[in-house]
Every structure is written in C-alpha cells, then in structure tokens.
C-alpha cells in the first residue's frame, strides 16, 4: 500500500518505520532537517524493534495525491493547518488521525472541508494510541515498548462508513496491537484524562511516564486525574474515578520508559498540547459551572516553563 505520513515527528516516524518494514511504500512528510537525515542515512529506530528503514521523504504534500492511505500525525495545534493543506493538495483519501485530545475529528473535518474535501467524515478515522516514541535526533527515533492503537468499531453495513478496517489491517500488518471498540467516544475521554494527568507532570519534572506510578509524583498526577474525572462527569461522560486510575496505571506501565509528548515538546522548545488537553477540559468544566484550579495552575506552569526556555536547535 502507498502510505503517506503527514507529520514526521517521533510518532509519525515510528509508524512509518513499522509500516515500511511490513513492505508498504511509505513517504514521510516532515521538517527539512529530518527529511535530509533520512534521505542520506535512512530512518533509524533505536530501542524496541531497532533497525534502519527505507522510506521516501518529502517536504510537501504532492505524494498524498497517489496515496492509498494518509496518516495525519501532526500535533493537535498543527492539525487544522495540515488538514486544510492536505485537502488542497490531494483528492479525498482514507485518512487516520492520531492526535491527543477531545474534539479532534471536528477540527479535522472542518479543515478538510475548507480545503475542498466533500463529507470528510466518510474518509477520516480517528485513532487513540499509546505508542511510545521519543525523538532522538533528525533521522533517529526511540521506540520504548509496543503500546496500543484503539479504533472505533467499523459500522456494519453502512456503505459510507469511514474506512476503519483498512486502517486496522494496515496497522496490524506493521505489528501494532489494534483494538476496535464500540464505545469510542468514551475511549477518547479516557485517553484525554490520562494525558491530562501524565503529560504535564512528566513535562514539569522532566520525568519518564513510569515515575508517575510512584510517590511523590503520583499524587500530583492523581490530583489532575480527579479534576479530569469531574470535567468528564460534568460533560455527561460518567467514568468512575477508580476506572480512570486503573487506565492511568495501565498506560503508565505500558509506556513507563517513554518521555511524554509534552515533555519532549518542552525539551525541544516547541509549542505543547497543554491547551488541547488541559485547556479543553477547563473550558468544558467551566460551561457547567465547575472550576478546575489544579489544571488552571498547571497550564500556567507549563506556559511559564515554555516561555522561559528558548527554542533549542531542532533535533
Ligand atoms: O499519549 C501519550 C503522550 O505522550 O502524548 C502517552 C500515552 C502518555 C505516551 O507518552
């Protein structure tokens, strides 16, 4: 299959390497330094499933015109721009979204429609994933375990349903563990809650995900998780606190050696997903008259940290 991956950061590159090793023709669309490194030395994966993989690279969206499938793996804050650019460059293609956060598909549908795709909800599939990937340097990404991809159950007998089976088969062929669930919206909430607890605490303390399973950081993460449970409940998504904690522990263990995406963003002096994750929860809670003070403080702390650390050279 011809697969184009739009957003060749750590996650997109790891997906690309795994799919290339399964024999797919992969093109990574990314930043110039990464593209040049891969062009000259191949894409190197260290850690779990190491090797050097042969993928095509591009700095523009031309390859998407002939793609059988597109993985849109940019961060949530770049999603609207990337999706609109995709739709302006290529006819509708089966497209997978991998971003963290709530309401991601609505952002993508709107942007794809602005770019000219008709009824993008028929071609776009959203994934929730915990595939642990860390950026090492241009051309090099570390995989720290297997992780999991969750997709919505394919809608049986609906001719215009999005192409879930295509992505489930594609990802499984690359060795990913894929689960399809009927209660996908609830899964999105569960993952958003876990991200709201893990990402900022690891980012502020420079700690790997596994450090949050033990004192003293566990208490800090659980305070955020409790506020996320309150936001979910206010928004009509009843997820008991003990289930949220069990999910936090499950993902924390599965990605124990990983550095969260927010920690990596801060370390690289890049924008973070703090608004898409914590900001969105605060706004949703506020609509129901509920204040989330720990989240508000944490957002300020992340923003302060980001503005005090000058952007580092990319790599
Ligand atoms: O989604 C993640 C992220 O870092 O954004 C987890 C699952 C926490 C893995 O690090």
* pLDDT tens digits for range 81-96: 999 999 999 999 999 9
Same domain? 193 vs 172: no
Same domain? 150 vs 190: no
CA distance 167 to 125: 8
| CATH number of the domain where residue 269 is located | 1.10.1040.10
Outline where the chain has alpha helix (H): 10-21, 32-41, 76-89, 104-115, 164-173, 184-205, 217-234, 241-254, 261-267, 274, 280-287, 293-308
Residue 283 contacts by C-beta under 8 Å, 6 or more apart in sequence? none
- Total-model pTM: 0.93
pLDDT at 227 > cutoff 90: yes
CA–centroid distance, 263 to ligand 1, in Å, is 10
Whether 315 maps to a domain, the answer reads no
Whether 222 maps to a domain, the answer reads yes
Per-residue pLDDT, averaged over 55-68, amounts to 96
Question: Which of 182, 213, 230 is the endpoint of a domain?
Answer: 182
> Quick one: DSSP state of residue 64?
G
Domain count along the chain: 2
Question: Which of 120, 150, 182 is the endpoint of a domain?
Answer: 182
Pocket test for ligand 1, best of 127, 191, 211, 251 (most atoms within 8 A of CB): 251
Q: Are 231 and 208 in contact (CB under 8 A)?
A: no
Q: Are 48 and 75 in contact (CB under 8 A)?
A: no
Nearest CA to ligand 1 atom 4: 260
Same domain? 203 vs 249: yes
Same domain? 166 vs 210: no
Per-residue pLDDT tens over the stretch 230-274: 999 999 998 999 999 999 999 999 999 899 999 999 999 999 999
Nearest CA to ligand 1 atom 1: 130
Full domain range(s) for residue 217: 185-308
Same domain? 172 vs 102: yes
Same domain? 139 vs 189: no
CA–centroid distance, 160 to ligand 1, in Å, is 32
Confidence of residue 314 (pLDDT cuts 50, 70, 90): very low
Which of 18, 37, 12 has the alpha carbon at shortest distance from 139?
37
Same domain? 170 vs 203: no
pLDDT at 157 > cutoff 80: no
Pocket test for ligand 1, best of 132, 135, 271, 278 (most atoms within 8 A of CB): 132
* Residue 21: CB atoms within 10 Å: 18
Whether 288 maps to a domain, the answer reads yes
Confidence of residue 156 (pLDDT cuts 50, 70, 90): confident
Same domain? 245 vs 263: yes
CA–centroid distance, 277 to ligand 1, in Å, is 12
Ligand 1 cavity residues, CB under 6 Å: 100, 130, 132, 195, 198-199, 209, 251, 255, 258, 260-261
In the chain, what is the straight-line distance between the N-terminal and C-terminal CA atoms, in Å?
30
Whether 61 maps to a domain, the answer reads yes
CA–centroid distance, 175 to ligand 1, in Å, is 19
Per-residue pLDDT, averaged over 176-189, amounts to 95
Question: Which of 182, 216, 239 is the endpoint of a domain?
Answer: 182
Nearest CA to ligand 1 atom 7: 130
| CATH number of the domain where residue 163 is located | 3.40.50.720
Q: Are 71 and 151 in contact (CB under 8 A)?
A: no
Whether 313 maps to a domain, the answer reads no
Same domain? 174 vs 190: no
Same domain? 151 vs 97: yes
**Among the atoms of ligand 1, which is closest to the Cα of residue 259?**
10
Question: In which region does residue 132 sit, left (phi positive, over 0), alpha (psi from -120 to 50) or beta (all else)?
Answer: beta
């Amino acid at each position: 299959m011809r697969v184009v991956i739009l957003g060749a950061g750590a996650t997109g590159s790891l997906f690309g390497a795994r799919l290339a090793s399964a024999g797919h023709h992969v093109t990574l669309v990314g930043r110039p330094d990464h593209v040049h490194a891969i062009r000259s030395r191949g894409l190197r994966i260290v850690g779990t499933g190491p090797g050097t993989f042969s993928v095509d690279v591009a700095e523009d969206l031309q390859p998407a015109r002939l793609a059988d499938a597109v993985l849109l793996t940019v961060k949530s804050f770049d999603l609207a721009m990337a999706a609109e650019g995709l739709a302006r460059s290529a006819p509708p293609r089966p497209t997978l979204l991998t971003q963290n956060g709530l309401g991601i598909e609505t952002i993508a549908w709107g942007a794809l429609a602005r770019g000219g795709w008709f009824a993008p909800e028929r071609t776009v599939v959203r994934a929730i994933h915990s595939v642990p990937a860390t950026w090492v340097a241009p051309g090099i990404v570390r995989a720290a375990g297997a992780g999991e991809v969750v997709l919505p159950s394919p809608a049986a007998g609906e001719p215009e349903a999005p192409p879930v089976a295509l992505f489930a088969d594609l990802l499984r062929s690359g060795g990913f563990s894929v689960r399809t669930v009927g209660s996908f919206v609830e899964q999105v909430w569960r993952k958003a809650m876990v991200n709201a607890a893990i990402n900022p605490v690891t980012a502020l303390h420079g700690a790997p995900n596994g450090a949050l399973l033990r004192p003293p950081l566990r208490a800090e993460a659980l305070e955020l998780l409790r506020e996320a449970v309150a936001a979910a409940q206010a928004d009509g998504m009843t997820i008991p606190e003990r289930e949220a904690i069990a999910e936090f522990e499950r993902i924390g263990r599965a990605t124990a050696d990983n550095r969260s995406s927010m920690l990596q963003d801060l370390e690289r002096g890049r924008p973070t997903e703090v608004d898409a994750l914590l900001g969105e929860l605060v706004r949703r809670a506020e609509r129901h008259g509920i204040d989330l003070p720990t989240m508000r403080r944490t957002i300020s702390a992340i923003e302060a940290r980001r503005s005090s650390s000058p952007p580092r050279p990319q790599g």
